[in-house]
Amino acid sequence: MLTRKQHELICFINDRLTETGVSPSFEEMKDALDLKSKSGVHRLISALEERDFIRRLPNRARALEVLRMPERPAEPKAAATPAPPVGTTAPAAAAASPIPANDVLEIPLHGRIAAGLPIEAFEGSSTLAVPAALLGSGEHYALEVSGDSMVEAGILDGDYALIRRTETARDGEIVVALIDDSEATLKYFRREGAMVRLDPANRSYDPQRYAPAQVRVQGKLSGLLRRYD
């Protein structure tokens, strides 16, 4: 049986992987569980790993895989409905609303974005059909990924990055960063002293550093779509 914090952590990791396909950062896990330091997160992850609930993926920074989820408490049984008096008819049960199995939303598709060096942002505009289950709350748009600098985060050339619009980001989140109001790139966002650092997820690429005035966050990665030809 897991402790309360262990249970909270694995649920948070599983929810984030389901929503975005990317493991949360240690900073995000610390904040979500209201812990005082990241060392507490390391201890919880080690405990979950030892009990085969999660595993760390080799050669991928910050990558976790949920192997199994803890059992949830059983739902309390509903009280039995008393039989109607003799001579009366029981009211018909209300029909349950069917849950759409294939809800699809059309979101704007704004051309290609570099997962390597920056390229021109938002070339043209069309739409992309996306399963609603891949999108959370908020306004979204899609960008086609060009390049291989985010491959160690599971983001490949030709993928469609699903982006939730926002102008703010926390350290360790994958963002669309607009540089000098003309070029966009998909990278990990981090602050480094007085600078903004955009980190790739490919050891062949170097981090990019800019003055804060040069960088505007245009959204955060919410999910990915991939086509197989």
36-76 pLDDT, tens digit per residue, is 877 788 888 888 888 888 887 765 555 788 888 886 544 44
Residue 19 or 149, more confident: 149
What sections of 151-193 are H helices per DSSP?
Answer: none
Q: Same domain for 43 and 143?
A: no
| CA end-to-end span of the chain | 44
Q: Same domain for 129 and 218?
A: yes
Q: Same domain for 57 and 160?
A: no
What's the 3-state SS for 86-154?
A: CCCCCCCCCCCCCCCCCCEEEEEEEEEEECCCCEECCCCCEEEEEEHHHCCCCCEEEEEEECCCCHHHC
User: Counting beta carbons within 10 angstroms of the beta carbon of residue 59, is it exposed (0 to 12), middle (13 to 18) or buried (19 or more)?
Assistant: exposed
The answer to whether 115 and 149 are in contact (CB under 8 A) is yes
Q: Same domain for 208 and 122?
A: yes
91 half-sphere exposure, CB direction, 13 A CA radius = 5
pLDDT tens for residues 119-157? 445 555 588 888 877 777 888 989 889 889 999 999 999
pTM beyond 0.85: the answer is no
The answer to whether 177 and 215 are in contact (CB under 8 A) is yes
Supply the range of the domain harboring residue 48. 4-66
Residue 58 or 96, more confident: 58
Residue 204 lies in a domain: yes
Residue 85 or 15, more confident: 15
Supply the pLDDT for residue 77: 46
Q: How many domains does the chain have?
A: 2
Tokens 């062949």 sit on residue: 204
Residue 77 lies in a domain: no
Supply the pLDDT for residue 168: 92
Residue 90 lies in a domain: no
pLDDT tens for residues 39-48? 788 888 888 8
Q: Same domain for 214 and 158?
A: yes
**CATH code for the domain in which residue 33 is found:** 1.10.10.10
Range from 7-21, 135-149, 186-200 that averages highest in pLDDT: 186-200
Residue 117 binned pLDDT confidence (cut-offs 50, 70, 90): low
- The lowest-confidence range among 24-28, 80-84, 101-105, 201-205 is 80-84
> Which are the catalytic amino acids?
149, 187
The token pair that represents 118 in the structure block:
């920056």
Taking each helix axis as running N to C, give the angle between helix 38-50 and helix 4-20, from 0 to 180 degrees, rounded to the nearest 10. 90
| Residue 30 pLDDT exceeds 50 | yes
